[in-house]
Amino acid sequence: MLAPDSPPTVTGGHEATTVERGSFCLARCSCGWSGPARRSRDRARTDAAAHLAAPHPGAG
């Protein structure tokens, strides 16, 4: 079961959040992207921030 960890962050139509799965945390985005499972919540948040900062096809 996934438990929401942080509130969503919206940038350019993308909504990223972190979710917990057991002892792991991962970043997910409304575009379908998900980051690797991490034991560190901070690393998962960093993954989400990097995804939101990256250029996306069709944006702009």
Please report which confidence band the pLDDT of residue 24 belongs to, taking 50, 70 and 90 as the band edges: very high
pTM, to two decimals = 0.73
Q: In whole angstroms, what is the distance from residue 25 CA to residue 4 CA? A: 9
- Asked whether 13 and 55 are in contact (CB, 8 A), the reply is no
Label residue 15 exposed, middle or buried (CB < 10 Å: 0-12, 13-18, 19+).
middle
Residue 45 has pLDDT above 90, yes or no: yes
The tokens describing 59, both together, are: 């944006």
